[in-house]
Amino acid sequence: MNLIIDVGNTRIKIAVFNNAEIIHNEIITTEEFYFKALKLLEVYSCKNAILSSVGNLKKSQINELNSKINLIQLDYISKIPFKNCYKTPKTLGVDRIALVSSAASQFPNKNVLIIDAGTCITYDFINEKGYYLGGAISPGIKMRYQSLHQFTKKLPLLETKQPEGLIGGSTEECIHSGIVNGVINEIDSNIESYRKKNKDLTIVLTGGDVNFLSNRLKNGIFANPNFLLQGLNTILTYNL
């Protein structure tokens, strides 16, 4: 059994894999981290673990866990199942390394565009030769709501909501239209651009907003909320 930990910018996800199958999956807080990890180690008698962090987790918390189990901390020197052509490999987010590893293992010899709609929306492209070329980073849905509120005097902080239509008839409707229609147009139009350049393109959508977005986007997309966790499990297996 493998223990898989994904420390995102907003939330920590912890999972247990039996070979390629997820048998436990939950979202935890920073405070719960050590207790929950230890508990899962024992309950499932995990032998190996991997941790990817782009967020806040204290070094001491990681060291504590490291003393209990063989823990791989994903970084830019970890062994990965693709060729990294990013111009600044040292600054590439480890979450993106995990997503691309997932694509390399689940869709070998395919052009794959991975869209992770989380705190940020990231686009990552790996070609059929297994070369990772990069992609794009833009603000996530929640971040867009927060920034409109934070950087203006008059705009309220709203929860994500499907807009009634294109033309917002009130302050709230205008915000929902601007953000949600904006994100959907951004994603659909990026997909179109990638499709024009790559005839045979596999598209994967993941991240905290996957459910909100998947039926609002144009067709032909694999929605998989566990794509990043699966990538971490792939890297762990690859490094043992």
What residues are annotated to the active site? 95
Nearest to 114 by CA among 105, 124, 101: 124
Evaluate whether 1 touches 46 at the Cβ level (below 8 Å).
yes
219 near ligand PAU (CB under 6 A): no
Q: How far is CA 33 from CA 5, 97, 130, 137, in A?
A: 10, 22, 34, 28
96 near ligand PAU (CB under 6 A): yes
Nearest to 180 by CA among 237, 142, 218, 233: 142
- Whether residue 91 is annotated as binding a ligand: the answer is no
Helix locations, 14-110, DSSP H: 33-43, 59-66, 94-106
| Angle between the N-to-C axes of helices 94-106 and 227-239, in degrees from 0 to 180, rounded to the nearest 10 | 80
Q: By CB under 6 A, which span of 117-125, 147-155, 167-175, 216-224 interacts with ligand PAU? A: 117-125
CB atoms within 10 A of CB 106: 18
**Site for ligand ATP, residues 133 to 172, rule: CB under 6 A:** 140-142, 160
Give the CB-nearest residue to ligand PAU.
93
- The mark string for 5-24 relative to ligand ATP (x by CB under 6 A, - otherwise) is ---xxxx-------------
Q: By CB under 6 A, which span of 17-25, 58-66, 86-94, 174-182 interacts with ligand PAU? A: 86-94
- Binding partner of 141, given ligand PAU, ligand ATP, K ion, none, CB within 5-8 angstroms per partner class: ligand ATP
- Binding partner of 24, given ligand ATP, K ion, ligand PAU, none, CB within 5-8 angstroms per partner class: none
- Residue set of the binding site for ATP: 6-13, 119
